[in-house]
Each structure stands twice: as structure tokens, then as C-alpha cells.
Amino acid sequence: MKCTFSVLTQNAPGVLMRVSSLFYRRNHNIESLSVSQTDTVGVSRFTIMIDADEWAHDQVEKQLAKLVEVISVENLTHRGSFIQRCFSLIKVRATMETRPHIFQIADVFRCRVVDMGSDALTLEITGNEGKIRACVEALQAYGIIEMAGSGSVALGRSENVPGYLEQESQATYSHMVRA
Amino acid sequence: MELTGAQIVVKSLEDEGVETIFGLPGGTVIPLYDALYDSSIQHVLVRHEQAAAHAADGFSRVGDGVGVCVATSGPGATNLVTGIATAYRDSSPMVAITGQVATDSIGTDAFQEAHMLGISLPVVKHSMQARRADDIPRLIRDAFFIASTGRPGPVVLDLPTNVQKAFGEYRRPVDSGKNGAPSEYPGYCAIREDLTRLDEAAKLIRGAERPVLIAGNGINLSRAFEPLRVFAEGLEMPVAASLLGKGAIRNDHPNFIGMMGMHGGAAANRAITAADLIVAVGARFSDRSIGKSEEFARSARVIHIDIDDAEIHKNVGADVWLIGDAGKVLNTLAEAASGHDSLSRRAWMEKILTMREPAVRDASDAMRPRRILDALDEVTKGEVIVTTEVGQHQMWAAQFHKTLHPRRFVTSGGLGTMGFGIPAAMGAHFARPDLPVVCVAGDGSAMMNIQELDTYARYDMPIKVLLFDNACLGMVRQWQQIFYNERYSNTLFARRPDFVKIAEGMGVTAFSVESPQKIKSAIERAVETPGPVLVHFPIPQSENVFPMVPAGEALSNMIL
């Protein structure tokens, strides 16, 4: 079963390695991982998806929480209600004849055209995994030249405020960043 | 005060109360060693960095401080790794200081450069690198705090050589974090506690007719001996111990039913199999302790008490769990769970006594391991620290040596590191110089860090090595005999090294014991001889460790 974790960490050197190597060491495969800084200075958010049985979800959550630089771990799948998005760039072959069809598909999937050459178009698409997969399938008939995609990023929906926000709603973590 | 980074390291270690460290210098730590030259800290110069790590580990396991080891960059640092991993797997606090090439050389494949932070990553509780001399006091404070709180473990501090040479301001760090933490690690929780299921646990304990308490290393780490004894006596619970839980309760205590697991006693394994309640305290249900997990204590409910909530449901599912410091939880739980049926508990205890393996009548005239260990107990009256190497002799020591005090049986459990015992004994000696230290070793393991006999001699450490020499890698040989049709592939040594000469060559008094009648007098002689002594016991190669639960089988399935 797939499971998505949202992990806040101190933005310290090597923290990506600590987080990712934990999955390797504990014999779990990462399906998707993305990291970025957050609005709070010194804090990064990891969104990590794994495909494993439920026992592993529990283990991963607790093992992650033990890492010294991890601030909080939330199992979004367990929580139930969250928003998840992936981003992809798709370069697809587009002749004069096929171009209108591709525009039509782009329209259906709310893609933006971000680059246009004489024989190819590059589309930008945002959505959940399923939408991106469907779009790729639709474009495949025209010939996808290359594609790049981000890992999935996710946030819990706003009706329940996670614990760390309640405790430290106004906190900045800038003091944690040491030169 | 302006000091060099190296001087700041030494000053910070002194502030942490460090009196003894173990290490071996090299190119990138010459500044640090120069600073040590002016310090009151005693540096024990070992012969191999791995030994420094095991010694620091042994120091932590026996004493109250955090063991410290030092190595240079590159090979020095990588030589520490086995020792760090050993400490990690047995939750032993340690601070490992490694030299590193200068910061502007990192990544250039400089001479003796190794990416120690990366190499050690999966076997440390935490690791850090000093980038500026000013950061050092804070980093060292953090390292000691993280290593010794919560579930303890090793912390690596990587020190680039230019940072050691740079000048910086020495300021004693002020603890600014929560829960007494030195720094703001907003996610680091020194003590996790969750006692929400206390009433449930108390009810299960009150209602149990056949409970078994399993004492793990957590009892030693939390120094929860009194709470455990009071709990076991008050609630009339039999206590089994994991290998690392040995010594958590006096081994001659009437409630102690023995070690559990692959080479555990029949009484402990049978009692666990028949139990209706398991209360595991600071034990992680390792595969060597529980056998086949699906078959483990099948008729029992399980209460799991641990400071690390990741251990709950990891290897054995728990019905009820309590998170927190072992001593504190036991105290709270003992009070909540009072009111048991004393009659049924006594009947259960009586029954467990009948589960013991039949006493073996030993009429042979052989140098049997048990005789050596019995003689050790007789001569020392149990007032001794025992360290072991890893293998058959380790299991014999665990089975037959009666540990009477906590934190005096020092052995590598989780990682099972051959080469641990001889150096760990050095750490044990420096942690408790008032107590005799005996290292029970096998010939296979002893050869892995035999060079430290020289360190014994240079520092005149009164450590006594009892060497069980069966001229083979005995534990593997035993498996080959039982499970591999006696095909002894690469386990039997074609010749015996002359251990007496080796020891004597390194300045250690040594003698060989040729007849079983002379075992006791030999140990007496060793104990009475000042300084380090190696006693060589040639034992029969055919000696096996029993009881034995074959790997992956149920605890009830013992070869007696």
C-alpha cells in the first residue's frame, strides 16, 4: 500500500542523506521524494512516498522521528485528507498536422505550453500522479521525445492543524541554523 | 579566551568531565595531540583504532561516563567503524572524534581523506563536522548530550585539521534547548514518554497466571536495577534476561530463571513458551532472543516497555506498550499493578523450576568450559567485571558465569563483533579500576585484536584473559557439525599459535593449563599475579554450546 510522509527537518548539511539512507538501510523502497525549503528559514520539508505494507509505514514514521535533525513526521495517508501534486515537463513530437490535436490534449489536462520548436512542443503539467499518467498516455501516440518530472509534494488539508503548528505557530527556526 | 581549535576540543572534553580517552594519532590529528600534551586527560595509546572504539564502548558500558575515542582521518577513521557499529547496535553511548583533511581539501581525494560522515552514517546516532573553531564547544556539548540521552548511541565528531589549528573563542556553551538539551534540536526528544496504556498494562499483569518478565539492556542503560528487583519481587514475577540484559538482576536471585534465546536456558525458553503474559522491559526482541517470531510466546499477551517507540511492534507485536525510561515506568507500573494472586504466581514459579534442563553428569576428565567458568566464579566470588569476545566461549560465559552486579557483563550482542572483548576490557578497567577485570576469549576472536595485549602491558592493566583455545572458529564449526554434515569448511586451524609466547612477547604474564585439575589454581594464580595475565586453556574441539535453538526455529525447539 502506498503511503505519503511529510517530514519537516532542520536545513542542515547531510540531512537528505540521513533521511534517504534510512529507507535503504531499513529495506524500504522510496517511490518518490522531494525536498524544498519552507517559508520558515532553516526548515526543509520532505515529501516521501513509499509502497510497503502497513507495518512498514509505522516503522518508517518512528525511525524517521528518531533522526536528530528531523523536527516532525506526519503520515499523510494515515491522516486521510491531503493534497498531492506532481509537476512534469513533457517534450512531445508535434508536426503541423498533429499540433492541433496536441493542443487539444493540453487543454483537457490544463497543460501550459512552455516551449515550441519546429517539430516539438514542451508542455508543463501539474496534478496528481494519475492525471500525469493519463496525460502521458494520451500524448504517447504522438511520440514523447523526453520528459522530466518532480517527485510528488503534499500538504495536509487545512481543517486539522498538525501538532507542531499548534505548538509553535509563530516560531521561526532561524536560530537553529548554525554557521 | 583565544585558543586553537584543538585546545578548545581538549578544554571542552575537560568540561564534560572526561578523564580518559582512547586513541591513536595520525597526520590530521597532530594538532589535537599537541593540545592533549598539556591536558590532565589521560590518553590511552592503543595499537589499532578499532580497539580504541571498543575500549571507549567498554568504558561506557561499565562506568558512568561517555567513552571517547580518537583516530586520524582516512584509515584511522574507517578502522573505528566496526567499533562504532558495535556500540550503535548495543545502544552504548560514545563520542568518536575523527581527524579530517583541511576543509578546502575535502572532496579532492587528498591523502588519507575518507568521507567519515558518510561511511559512518548508518551506524551512528548522530554525526557532525566542525567547520569553525568557535563552533567546537557547542558541538562537543551536543555530542555528549545526544550520545547519552534517550536511547544512547555513538556520535561521530569529524574535525578538519585546519579547524584544529585555527584560533577561536572558547566559550562554555549555555544549555539553551528544551529538556536540558544544549542546543535547539527542535525534533530531538531526549526522553519520550507515553504511559497512556498504564491501566491496561496493570490489569493484564494483575490477571496473569503465568507471567514472565524479560529484562533487556534497557535495564542496564537506565540503571533500573532496583526498580526491576522491587517489581519482580513485589509482583512475584519470574525474570528472564536477554544476553545484554544479563546482570540486570542478580543471577542468583530466586526470581531469575536464566537467559533466553538461541543458547538460553531451558527454563527461560520453556517458561516464555508457556507464559500467558510477557512483560519485556528495555528488550528489543532480537531474532537471537526470540527464535521464530510467529511462534514466540504464542499463548501470551505482550506488554512492551521501551524508551524507543520504534521498537514497539518491530519484531514482536505488542498488546500494550509503555514508552519511557525503564526505571521510571517500572516504578509506576509496580504500583498500578499491585494486587495479584500470590498463590498462582508461586505455583508458576515452582513449575518453572521443573522446566530446567537435566543436570549433566560430567565424569569425563576433560578441560570443559563450564569448569573454567565455575572456577572463575569460585575464585572471584562473582566480584568481577567479565568482558567476552564473540563465539562459543561468549555463550558459555553467558550461560555459566553468574553475574551478581549490573553493568559487569560486557559483551557484543547485536553486532556480535569478534575482537571486542580484549579492548573492551581496557575500557572496563579504566571505568572501574577498583574492580578486577577478566576477559573470556576464544582463540578465533582473540587473534582479531591480540595486539592490545601490548597496551595492557604498557599501562600495566591488571586484566586477566582466560583464553579458551579449541584451535577453530568454534561456533561456525558447531553449525557445520550439526547443520552442514560435518563439512568443516575453513573453520579448523592447521596449527595453534603459541599464545603464551605471543603474550610474553608483549609483556604479559602467560601460562598454559594442561589439566582440568589445575583450572582453579591457575585462575587463582592469575588473579594473584600483578598486572596483565593470559591463561591459556586448550579445550576439546568437540565442545558444543547447548541448549541450542536452531536459527529461525521456535524457542521450544531446543537441542539440549
Interface confidence (ipTM) of the complex? 0.92
What DSSP designation does A143 have? Answer: -
Find out whether B408 and B62 touch, Cβ atoms under 8 Å. Answer: yes
Find out whether B419 and B50 touch, Cβ atoms under 8 Å. Answer: yes
3-state class (DSSP) for residue B91: coil
Same domain, yes or no, for B63 and B32? yes
Residue from the list A70, A175, A178 with its beta carbon closest to the beta carbon of B187: A70
Burial of B355 (0-12, 13-18, 19+ CB in 10 A): middle
CATH H-level superfamily of A83-153: ACT-like. Chain A, domain 2 (3.30.70.1150)
pLDDT class of B361 with cuts at 50, 70, 90: low
Residue B172 contacts A where some CB pair is shorter than 8 Å? no
Q: Residues B448, B451, B456, CA angle at the centre, nearest 5°?
A: 120
**pLDDT tens digit string along B480-506?**
999 999 999 999 999 999 999 999 999
Beta strands in B402-543 (DSSP E): 409-410, 437-442, 463-469, 509-512, 533-538
**pLDDT tens digit string along B262-321?**
999 999 999 999 999 999 999 999 999 999 999 999 999 999 999 999 999 999 999 999
Contacts of B186 in chain A (CB under 8 A): 10, 71, 168, 173, 176
pLDDT class of A160 with cuts at 50, 70, 90: low
Residue A162 contacts B where some CB pair is shorter than 8 Å? no
Whether B318 is in a domain gets the answer yes
CATH number reported for the structural domain that contains residue B232 in this entry: 3.40.50.1220
How far from the centroid of its chain's Cα atoms is residue B125's Cα? 16
Same domain, yes or no, for B376 and B307? no
Same domain, yes or no, for B17 and B151? yes
pLDDT at B74: 98
Residue of B nearest to A72 (CA): B187
Same domain, yes or no, for B6 and B147? yes
Same domain, yes or no, for B441 and B329? no
Q: Is the pLDDT of residue A161 over 80?
A: no
Query: Residue type at B218?
Result: G
Distance CA(B88)–CA(B82), nearest Å, equals 10
Q: Is the pLDDT of residue A174 over 50?
A: no
Residue from the list B122, B146, B186 with its beta carbon closest to the beta carbon of A176: B186
Query: Residue type at B526?
Result: A
Phi, psi at residue B171, to the nearest 5°? -130, 125
CA distance to A147, B234, B393, per residue, from B93 (Å): 48, 32, 26
Residue B499 C-alpha cell reads as 599464545
Residue of B nearest to A54 (CA): B313
CATH H-level superfamily of A2-81+157-176: ACT domain (3.30.70.260)
Inspect the interface and report whether the beta carbons of B135 and A9 lie closer than 8 Å: no
**pLDDT tens digit string along B74-114?**
999 999 999 999 999 999 999 999 999 999 999 999 999 99
Nearest to residue B152, comparing CAs of B307, B32, B272?
Answer: B307
Distance CA(B177)–CA(B139), nearest Å, equals 13
Distance CA(B411)–CA(B266), nearest Å, equals 22
CA distance to A43, B273, B348, B442, B547, per residue, from B555 (Å): 48, 7, 19, 26, 10
**pLDDT tens digit string along B394-447?**
999 999 999 999 999 999 999 999 999 999 999 999 999 999 999 999 999 999
How far from the centroid of its chain's Cα atoms is residue B104's Cα? 38
For B373-397, what is the HEC assignment? Answer: HHHHHHHHCCCCEEEECCCHHHHHH
Residue B138 contacts A where some CB pair is shorter than 8 Å? yes
pLDDT at B358: 80
Mean pLDDT of chain A: 88
Residue B539 C-alpha cell reads as 579445550
Structural domains in chain B (count):
3
Same domain, yes or no, for B429 and B489? yes
Find out whether A66 and B149 touch, Cβ atoms under 8 Å. Answer: no
- CATH topology agreement for domains A2-81+157-176 and A83-153: yes
pLDDT class of A172 with cuts at 50, 70, 90: very low
Inspect the interface and report whether the beta carbons of A66 and B126 lie closer than 8 Å: no
Same domain, yes or no, for B202 and B302? yes
Mean pLDDT of chain B: 95
Phi, psi at residue B456, to the nearest 5°? -50, -50
| H or E, element range at A30 | strand A30-37
Whether B360 is in a domain gets the answer no
Listing DSSP states for B303-353 in one string gives EEEES-GGGTTTSS--SEEEES-HHHHHHHHHHHT----HHHHHHHHHHHH
CATH number reported for the structural domain that contains residue B109 in this entry: 3.40.50.970
Residue B188 contacts A where some CB pair is shorter than 8 Å? yes
How far from the centroid of its chain's Cα atoms is residue A88's Cα? 11
Whether B452 is in a domain gets the answer yes
CB contact burial B306-334 (16+ within 10 A = b; e otherwise) = bbbbbbbbbbbebebbbbbbbbbbbbbbb
Name A44's Cβ contacts closer than 8 Å, sequence gap at least 6. A8, A9, A10, A11, A15, A35, A36, A37, A38
Whether B442 is in a domain gets the answer yes
Longest Cα–Cα distance of chain A, Å, equals 59
Pairing relationship of beta strands B239-241 and A30-37 according to DSSP bridges:
unpaired
Residue B194 contacts A where some CB pair is shorter than 8 Å? no
Listing DSSP states for B30-86 in one string gives HHHHHHHTTSSSEEEE-SSHHHHHHHHHHHHHHSSS-EEEEE-TTHHHHHHHHHHHH
| H or E, element range at B499 | helix B499-505
Distance CA(B40)–CA(B345), nearest Å, equals 55
Give residue B283's domain range: 198-353
Nearest CA distance, B26 vs chain A (angstrom) = 26
**pLDDT tens digit string along A96-142?**
999 999 999 999 999 999 999 999 999 999 999 899 999 999 999 99
Residue B234 CB neighbour total at 10 angstroms: 13
Name B474's Cβ contacts closer than 8 Å, sequence gap at least 6. B391, B392, B393, B442, B444, B491, B541, B543
3-state class (DSSP) for residue B211: strand
Phi, psi at residue B523, to the nearest 5°? -70, -40
Inspect the interface and report whether the beta carbons of B138 and A70 lie closer than 8 Å: no
Distance CA(A90)–CA(A176), nearest Å, equals 39
Question: Could you give the percent of chain B with pLDDT greater than 70?
Answer: 98
Same domain, yes or no, for B119 and B241? no
Listing DSSP states for B502-547 in one string gives HHHHTT-EEEE--SGGGHHHHHHHHHHSSS-EEEEEE--TT----S
Q: State mean pLDDT over B336-360.
A: 91
Find out whether B523 and B376 touch, Cβ atoms under 8 Å. Answer: yes
Pick the last residue of a domain from B148, B180, B212: B180
Dihedral sign computed on CA atoms, order B95, B385, B49, B532: positive
- Bond into B547 cis (ω within 30): yes
Residue B119 C-alpha cell reads as 561511511
Contacts of B129 in chain A (CB under 8 A): 13
Distance CA(B549)–CA(B538), nearest Å, equals 27
Residue from the list B122, B131, B146 with its beta carbon closest to the beta carbon of A21: B122
Whether B525 is in a domain gets the answer yes
Same domain, yes or no, for B297 and B438? no
CA distance to A4, A72, B186, B260, per residue, from A164 (Å): 18, 7, 10, 42
Residue B115 contacts A where some CB pair is shorter than 8 Å? no
How many CA atoms, within 13 angstroms, populate the side-chain half-sphere of residue A76? 23
Task: Give start and end residues of each alpha helix (H) in A6-128.
Answer: 15-25, 54-66, 76-79, 99-108
pLDDT at B366: 84
pLDDT at B331: 97
Q: State mean pLDDT over B353-360.
A: 84
Same domain, yes or no, for B411 and B510? yes
Domain boundaries, chain A: 2-81+157-176, 83-153
Same domain, yes or no, for B374 and B348? no
β-strand partners of A127: A86
